[in-house]
Amino acid sequence: AQKVTQAQTEISVVEKEDVTLDCVYETRDTTYYLFWYKQPPSGELVFLIRRNSFDEQNEISGRYSWNFQKSTSSFNFTITASQVVDSAVYFCALSEARSGGYNKLIFGAGTRLAVHP
């Protein structure tokens, strides 16, 4: 069965610290997609990144970077030089490739990140 585990419930850091949010997933499929979303206090889930299971290259976007390791079924997210605006709940999600014109996302429980000045 599919499952996404975000073991860190809450993380608290001081501004400018680097922080890594962990995500471990389980799936039997060889083709799947992984996502990260950010949910600020306003409530909206903001899409950050999507990776497919065949692309293990790490990705960097500004202060954000993602480390995908198939061998350990992990897709970790690092924020470099954190800022107060990064305070939010971050969700990791898994989607299997399947027939049909829609997808089903399996979300982790989320990690609440608090960045203090």
Partner 1 sequence: ETGVTQTPRHLVMGMTNKKSLKCEQHLGHNAMYWYKQSAKKPLELMFVYSLEERVENNSVPSRFSPECPNSSHLFLHLHTLQPEDSALYLCASSQGDRSTDTQYFGPGTRLTVL
Residues in 20-79 at the binding interface with partner 1, rule: CB under 8 A: 33, 35, 37, 42-47, 50, 52
Q: Which of 6/82 has CB closer to partner 1?
A: 6
Stretch that binds partner 1, among 7-15, 18-26, 75-83, 98-106 (CB under 8 A): 98-106
DSSP 59: E
Sign (positive or negative) of CA dihedral 20, 10, 109, 90: negative
Closest among 59, 43, 42 to 51, alpha carbons compared: 59
Binding of partner 1 at residue 99 (CB under 8 A)?
yes
Return the structure tokens found at 46.
């903001």
Binding of partner 1 at residue 107 (CB under 8 A)?
yes
Closest among 60, 80, 76, 70 to 13, alpha carbons compared: 80
Binding of partner 1 at residue 14 (CB under 8 A)?
no
Return the structure tokens found at 115.
């960045």
Q: Which of 66/91 has CB closer to partner 1?
A: 91
Q: Which residues bind partner 1 (CB under 8 A)?
A: 33, 35, 37, 42-47, 50, 52, 91, 95-105, 107-110
